[in-house]
Structure 1
Amino acid sequence: MRRFPRGRRTAIAATVLTLALAVTTGAQATAAPDDRAPAAEAVRQYEVGDVATADARTALARTGTAIDEVRSSSVVITADEAHAERLADLGYELTALTTPTERGGPITAAAPGDYHTYGEALAAVAEAEAAYPDLVSSQVIGQSHEGRDIVAVKVSANVAVDEDEPEVLFTHNQHAREHLTVEMALYTLGELTSQYGTDPEITALLDSREVWLIPSVNPDGKVYDQESGSFRSWRKNRQPNAGSSSTGTDLNRNWAYEWGCCGGSSGSPGSETYRGAAPESGPETTVVADFVRGRAVGGEQQITAHIDFHTYGELVLWPYGFTYADTAAGLTADDAAAFEALGTAMADSNGYTPQQSSDLYITDGTINDWLWADQGIFSFTFEMYPTSSGGGGFYPPGDVIDRETGRNREAVLTLLSYADCAYRAAGLEGEYCAA
């Protein structure tokens, strides 16, 4: 491993080039993080030392850096050579990390073929709809920038009828390279359908709930990251940015609540956390937001609970992300207690770490904050397997997919069980839950 000294910029280009060439020979080969960089330049992960607090992590994020992983006194980021040099110039100490391919050992690097492609995921949805017509229906709710369908899948007993039941939304793949989340959507769909009528808990839940799955919020980014033959470590969507040669908006900084308010996103189009030109400027964000707004019937939002699946870190997160405060406008002490109790209950079932989002670092314009503050939906983020880059980072090997999607079975059912009134998780049913 090569360490980039604080405040120095010596031999960085040669070191990164050598490491990049090593990466491109393995299954996790990656391309440049935005279109300004030469096609041959690779991105890779670095450990950034002496970043031990939420304030320090937020300061790093405010440089336009996307933080992949939080460690006890450091973080892991993905960067190209130019961004690594900029951080070194700012005084950060970077250590280039080896990939599973480079270091060998028991973790086998993933290949793009380990995961369903966008087309294969849609085919799996169609198969489920054909096999379980009384339980599953799907609809195209809009298109991505490049014209790909964004599909919402409904799972419920008596699926053809819009019943007056609590609705739960699961979203996946806002960030292009997080392919394990699409596998999570397909696992949930498969488990709910195959176990209905057999598993008493699932049967009771689907008799009294309506479940919505959006397997890929960012299909253009998924296709770009996965279907060239090697992974590109692409995060954003594929929308061009006016006046810039850089491509893409970070969809999870593009939501219309406290957008760009607090240094939790970047205004630079080349940044991994670029928030877009305006709230909901990403067409994919607008498609999902319009779908959610459309679930308000008679002025009452039918969706009561939500999980946005990401990788990686094994975390359960809840609002707010834009402030360190436990309570803020629209988030009372009782609301915070319900978030913490329900988030902890889900984490108890899957072994993840539960915490408020801003305990990591400040983010703004996120789906969780918008869904709660604007729509009153108890919204969580799950950062899935692994805990660290050592387990494969954004690209864990295919042989862990079944284990790591199934690991969230009980957490998903827990959220469904509390969808009628999340405050029950905190013992507040007397104040908030109808008899």
Structure 2
Amino acid sequence: MTAAAIAGLLALAVATPASSNTTPGPDARERVHEYEVTGPRTAAQRTAVAATGASVDAVRKDSIVITADAGQAERIRRMGYPLRVLPGPPDRSDGMKPAPFDFPPADAKYHNYKEAMAEIDADVAAYPSLMSKQVIGKSYEGRDIIAVKITGSAKTAGGAGTADAAKAPAKAAAKPEVLFTAHQHAREHLTVEMALYLLKEFGSQYGKDDRVTKMVDSRVIWVVPDLNPDGGEYDIASGSYRSWRKNRQPNNGSSSRGTDLNRNWDYKWGCCGGSSGSTGSETYRGSGPESAPEVKVVADFVRTRVVGGKQQIKAAIDFHTYSELVLWPFGWTYDDTAAGMTQDERDAFAKVGTSMARSNGYTPEQSSDLYITDGTIDDWLWGNQKIFAYTFEMYPSSAGAGGFYPPDEVIDRETARNRDAVLQLLENADCMYRSIGKEQQYCT
């Protein structure tokens, strides 16, 4: 490629602010492809593939699906693994001209950022006694990152109802809190729909469904529906899919934009070969922990939930796609237990995780059973804040069934599929050790 052509591509890669009506051009990192890599069967082999800077998108029995550039693909071939290029993102234009900053016409049921914010505002307005919204910070391009608080009027263990919270904050904090986050990776749009489903379900079923009502009354539920609004908007900015993963933050001295938000958390950051130091990598971990503004915003929010020296958030789910998995820490080590996790803690993670997986049909396992990752949200939530944190890798199970871009016809089915699992986590949140019969030892 000529120097002039490269310069042209870099000029097109300039970030577009949230208020702009222009469609940004292609980014240099869009010269990546998805590949099926035949041969890696063990976690160590998959970790070696990921160490090239490719992202491991799905794990199968005798192969993996990766996103990689040409150089990374060639390094993997030199490791002796055959690669097969997979089809790119689907064309769902239905023969219609795509609209900028929106989903293709055939996927119109997905919510872009503006539509999602409007949906959230409508829910908060419809259920003002249950829900409130707060802006907890801004993305790199200035979009609001919000958290929706959901809780009912039942009294807390400390004896204070919601109306008493301002007068007795210490007592109000006695309600166990649970956090649901979504959309760390830009192309994983189904996770935003999952968050919107939760808001709708908690609001519409309160007072109608006993299980929902009890959990809303006895818990403080936080939903952060969109950690990566800039990346999500960029992924659909041309009116078709770009398979973008990272945020849209520039990297000093590099033409490659973006940090992998789920490698940027401040626990075991960059420790163990589970992320990349190369700005062009799909798993670039950033210049330092919490260097991505979106990660720092959410981490700061979680730290505000420490009341009286105790973290009030007891459990969490971070939603991703795809592969249909329920994962728990640690990702940075293959060991089931390590510094920061006892056998009882691991057993509680596994017991609740396995039960949730039975309800939604996902596969339960420790994150590192797939391959090593470091600087992830689950490892940080547990290792730094002692929050029982899970990752749900949602539908589909394979690239062939839609990969990162399942059709919008599946939204209702696949979000509702996680209803029982979410309720199970809420029900266990007050004492996760109850699941292993050790409530008296740990929760009295």
User: Does the TM-score normalized on the shorter chain lie above 0.5?
Assistant: yes
Q: Distance in 1 between matches of 2:383 and 2:343?
A: 14
- Is 1:248 matched up with 2:258? yes
Q: What's the CA shift for 1:80?
A: 3.8
Q: What's the CA shift for 1:45?
A: 1.9
Q: What's the CA shift for 1:101?
A: 5.2
- Is 1:154 matched up with 2:149? yes
Q: What's the CA shift for 1:35?
A: 3.7
Q: Which SS does the other structure have where 1:361 is aligned?
A: coil
Question: Equivalent residues in 2 for 1:266-345 (5 A)?
Answer: 266-345=276-355
1:397 aligned partner: 407
Selected match of 2:270 from 260, 282, 298 = 260
Give aligned pairs, total.
Answer: 395
Q: Distance in 1 between matches of 2:25 and 2:76?
A: 16
2:373 aligned partner: 363
Q: What's the CA shift for 1:79?
A: 2.7
Q: Distance in 2 between matches of 1:96 and 1:372?
A: 37
Q: Distance in 2 between matches of 1:392 and 1:172?
A: 19
Selected match of 1:78 from 67, 73, 78 = 67
Q: What's the CA shift for 1:110?
A: 8.8
Give the CA RMSD over aligned residues. 2.0
- Is 1:62 matched up with 2:54? no
Change (3 A) 1:392 1:424: same
Q: Which SS does the other structure have where 1:217 is aligned?
A: coil
1:207 aligned partner: 217
Q: Aligned letter for 1:217?
A: L
Q: Deviations for 1:135-173, whole angstroms, at most 9, x for unmatched residues?
A: 010000000011100000011114674622000000000
2:82 aligned partner: 93
2:20 aligned partner: none
- Is 1:372 matched up with 2:382? yes
1:223 aligned partner: 233
Query: Is contact 1:34–1:270 with CA below 8 Å preserved after alignment?
Result: no
TM norm structure 2: 0.86
Q: What's the CA shift for 1:111?
A: 4.8
2:433 aligned partner: 423
Selected match of 1:384 from 360, 383, 394 = 394
Q: Which SS does the other structure have where 1:76 is aligned?
A: strand
Q: Deviations for 1:287-338, whole angstroms, at most 9, x for unmatched residues?
A: 0000000000010100000000000000000000000001011100000000
Query: Is contact 2:90–2:405 with CA below 8 Å preserved after alignment?
Result: no
1:137 aligned partner: 132
Q: Distance in 2 between matches of 1:297 and 1:381?
A: 25
Q: Which SS does the other structure have where 2:238 is aligned?
A: coil
Query: Is contact 1:177–1:233 with CA below 8 Å preserved after alignment?
Result: yes
Q: What's the CA shift for 1:226?
A: 1.9
Change (3 A) 1:244 1:306: same
Query: Is contact 1:305–1:377 with CA below 8 Å preserved after alignment?
Result: yes
Q: Distance in 1 between matches of 2:42 and 2:420?
A: 32
- Is 1:119 matched up with 2:129? no
Q: Deviations for 1:189-215, whole angstroms, at most 9, x for unmatched residues?
A: 100100000101111111110000000
Q: Distance in 2 between matches of 1:291 and 1:419?
A: 19
Q: Deviations for 1:44-101, whole angstroms, at most 9, x for unmatched residues?
A: 3210011110000000011111001000011001234444334334543101123685
Query: Is contact 2:89–2:243 with CA below 8 Å preserved after alignment?
Result: no
1:48 aligned partner: 37
Q: Distance in 2 between matches of 1:364 and 1:42?
A: 25
